Amino acid sequence: MDLKFTLRDILVYVFTGLSFFIFVLPIEFETINCFILEHSSFFSGNEFLTSGLAIGGCYILGYLMQSIDVMKYYFCRKRLGEKANKNLSLNKILWADRISGLLYIETIEVKDYKDTTYQKHREDFWERVTKIQVAEKYSQIDYWYVLKDFTNGLETVSLIMFFWSIRIWSESVTKCICLMGMYALIYIAFYIKSSVLSEQFISAVRVTDKLLSNK
């Protein structure tokens, strides 16, 4: 249990926060470089403190990115309205990178689930997850869930950087367009990866649940 929490803390939060600083470098390189040079004496004389602050800062920032990611999903779902949420193509474009989104799509698309409400379908799925956790067979499945959360966080970071790039429009239009294009491609890549990981998690849960039921 402690190992899983450590994996989630490091990968989902610390690395997501670290990715924010890496992704912002092409936009704010000069600002960050000036900051490091101005405070180089402090950094060189307080390595342990600097490392602790850096890890703690990445953790908090990563937690913030993950929180924004969740709020973005639920806010957009609510703002789109019921009519838009029933649109299969729109749901596949917007929410295929989410477990909840894929479960919702199933209630629209899959014949076996069309007569089931989304709320009931979601509850049944997470009951299966709980059953697997109780049976202590969840550790391998949790790997996909942790990776999915991490990738969702990277999606949000790249989306924020896409809009952040607009800041340098007045400085260099060409650089701004190039960076916006780069972050858009990164977002699409992480979206596709997250979609695959979400599908793998759902599939792993159902296969494991079936094996436990057959015992």
As given in the structure block, the two tokens for residue 94 are 């917007």
| pLDDT of 1 | 43
What does each C-alpha distance from 188 to 151, 159, 199 come to in angstroms? 11, 10, 17
**In 10 A of CB 151, how many CB atoms?**
22
Q: Is 149 exposed, middle or buried (0-12, 13-18, 19+ CB in 10 A)?
A: buried
Please identify which residue in the block is written with the tokens 């957009």: 76
Tens of pLDDT, residues 152-197: 999 999 999 999 999 999 889 999 999 999 999 999 999 999 999 9
Kindly tell me if the per-residue pLDDT of 140 is higher than 90: no
CA dihedral 106, 111, 114, 120 (to 10 degrees): -60
User: Between 189 and 104, where is the model more confident?
Assistant: 189
Tens of pLDDT, residues 39-71: 888 777 788 888 888 889 999 999 999 999 888
